[in-house]
Amino acid sequence: MPRPWVALWVAVGAFTGAAACGGDSNPPARVVTIPDTPTATDSTLPLRVLAPRRNLLVGSAIDAGFRFTGSDGVEFKGTMVTQFNLLTPENDLKHDHVHPQQNVYNFAPADSIVAFAAANGMKARGHTLIAPTQVASWMANGSWTQAQAQQLLDDHVTTVVSHYRGQLMEWDVVNEALADDGSIKPSIWYNTIGRGYIERAFRDARAADSTVGLFYNDYNIEGVNAKSDSVYAMVQDFQARGVPITGIGLQSHFQVGGVPSTMAANIARFAALGLQVHITELDVRVPLPSTSSELAAQAQDYATVFSTCLQYPACSALVMWGFTDKVSWVPSTFPGWGDALIFDANYQPKPAFGAIVNVLK
Ligand code: XIL
């Protein structure tokens, strides 16, 4: 007997921050009816229906700069809530956004994203508490003693984690702390506190929320290399000394053809430590203008990352760094590269979307 139809409620109007962020007209909710049974029509099912069958959460980052407003609002929100069951604020929780002055916190933008997720049955990841490369200028340019910097780190982590207690699935507690050779990057946190700033952030986060997942997140740690070796050693040290850590985030910003051949082995070794291993920022950039053969190769890369993740129960969440080529950090960050996501700039599915559906089926 095929199972009955499942109605996926698409609350495209439930974005509570819309009025504050540019006058979205709050389009009405719509109901999309889709068959919840594996059939030949699976290729028409959204990712958020297919992924849970494989015990996977599938998500996208969403940024303040593209806040569901204007003529794109309906398509943007509609695609987002139809396809994904997990969101990551792309920038709104970073130190420089959420804590713009020493005694000023700006929670409203991230609050609206978290509320949107909850209203649409999606989970949310917190990104990120301590990112050495994105620190508010009052902190980065200040002159602090070690004790002062420790206090400022404690205050920040405690305040932000407490604000979202019970609302997030997990936090990227520390982001991009390491250089490619595995050493700790210089930053205001490292220069004032020393390497202990990393574990301090994890301990503070756990003290403020006893159950939220606590992740170390970075790029170029997807495969086995000097940098991921350093993360591995850090985690072992944390576990030996009782520093709380739940998982590792593999950002996964790849060039087409650049998925490391050791990604499965790398996930396996972190999973063997009892950690969760989540894909947190996947995108696959291609040289512009993109060609059909590059987009086919990109589709293969997306399929490889999804199928690699699915091999490991520890890899229970996979987030892409956006979903439409209309809005992506890639073109401005990597000039000459782009088209890194799974929907094109007109919200049409690309070959990568179909490849992911094939893997999930
Ligand atoms: C990027 C955002 O996408 C951009 O909008 C912002 O200008 C810079 O940061 N690794 C991370 C993310 O952990 O926070 C970065 O996000 C992309 C690389």
What does the DSSP assignment read for 65-96?
TS-S-GGGHHHHHHHHHHH-SEEEESSTTSHH
Residue 18: pLDDT band (50, 70, 90) is very low
Residue 2 Cα to ligand 1 middle (Å): 43
Q: E strand or H helix at 282, and its extent? A: strand 276-287
The DSSP output letter for 149 is H
SS3 at position 16? coil
pLDDT digits (tens, 9 = 90+) for 297-355: 999 999 999 999 999 999 999 999 999 999 899 999 999 999 999 999 999 999 999 99
Residue 134 Cα to ligand 1 middle (Å): 9
Residue 90 Cα to ligand 1 middle (Å): 7
Residue 17: pLDDT band (50, 70, 90) is very low
pLDDT digits (tens, 9 = 90+) for 161-175: 999 999 999 999 999
Q: What is the 3-state secondary structure (H, E, C) of 189-242?
A: HHHHHCCHHHHHHHHHHHHHCCCCEEEEEECCCCCCCHHHHHHHHHHHHHHHHC
Q: Which of 249, 220, 216 is nearest to 234 (CA)?
A: 216
Residue 82 has pLDDT above 80, yes or no: yes
CA angle 329/284/315 to nearest 5° reads 105
For the segment 179-196, the average pLDDT, to the nearest whole number, is 98
Whether ligand 1 lies within 6 angstroms of the CB of 280 is answered as: no
Residue 8 has pLDDT above 80, yes or no: no
Residue 288 Cα to ligand 1 middle (Å): 20
- Active-site annotation holds for 199: no
Q: Which of 176, 199, 222, 294 is catalytic?
A: 176
- The bridge status of strand 5-10 relative to strand 30-35 is antiparallel
Average per-residue pLDDT in the chain? 89
Residue 31 Cα to ligand 1 middle (Å): 33
By most ligand atoms within 8 Å of CB, the mutation choice from 60, 87, 90 for ligand 1 is 90
Which of the pair, 231 or 42, is modelled with greater confidence? 231
For the segment 44-63, the average pLDDT, to the nearest whole number, is 95
| pTM, rounded to two decimals | 0.90
Write down the residue that tokens 């996501």 correspond to: 341
**Residue minimizing CA distance to atom 13 of ligand 1:** 175
Q: Which of 163, 104, 109 is nearest to 138 (CA)?
A: 104
Span of 71-75, 283-287, 329-333 with lowest mean pLDDT: 71-75
Residue 75 has pLDDT above 90, yes or no: no
- Active-site annotation holds for 281: yes
The per-residue b/e assignment along 264-274, b for 16 or more CB within 10 angstroms, e otherwise, is bebbbbbbebe
pLDDT value of position 29: 37
For the segment 281-300, the average pLDDT, to the nearest whole number, is 98
By most ligand atoms within 8 Å of CB, the mutation choice from 62, 66, 91, 254 for ligand 1 is 91
Whether ligand 1 lies within 6 angstroms of the CB of 91 is answered as: yes
pLDDT value of position 71: 61
Write down the residue that tokens 């050791």 correspond to: 262
Residue 64: pLDDT band (50, 70, 90) is low
Q: Which of 90, 199, 222, 281 is catalytic?
A: 281
For the segment 80-86, the average pLDDT, to the nearest whole number, is 95
